[in-house]
Amino acid sequence: MTVRVPLIRFGQDNRPLAWWECFFFPIVMPAVFLLLGAAALASIPYFAVFPDHHAHEYDFGTERQQEVMRRYRQFASRVPVWRRVGRALAFPLRQARRRRTRRCT
């Protein structure tokens, strides 16, 4: 006799959910959403600080564009983490300053 663990299926287990397994849904789904939300929130600063670690349009472009990306990644690999963080923090501030328009008097 095997003990069935709720909500975990192995191999060819095609049995339907038991009536009492539905009570786990309100517990499991918020936990899944919290984990996925935490991963999403962690990925935002990661992509801002390390833009060279993810694929860009030039990675799939012509040979010249791929060479440009290789040179960029070589340069970016020598940039220390503290300068990357400073650049990631300063970028939104620079964009906000550019958006301001002068008033015409």
Q: What integer pLDDT is reported at residue 3 of this predicted model? A: 61
pTM for this one? Answer: 0.54
Q: Are 85 and 49 in contact (CB under 8 A)?
A: yes
Domain boundaries, the chain: 19-96
Q: Where are the alpha helices (DSSP H) in the chain?
A: 25-49, 63-77, 81-99
Q: Are 7 and 21 in contact (CB under 8 A)?
A: yes
Q: What is the pLDDT of residues 49-98, one digit of tens each?
A: 998 888 989 999 999 999 999 999 999 999 999 999 988 888 777 766 66
Can you read off the two tokens belonging to residue 53?
């670690």
Q: What integer pLDDT is reported at residue 26 of this predicted model? A: 87
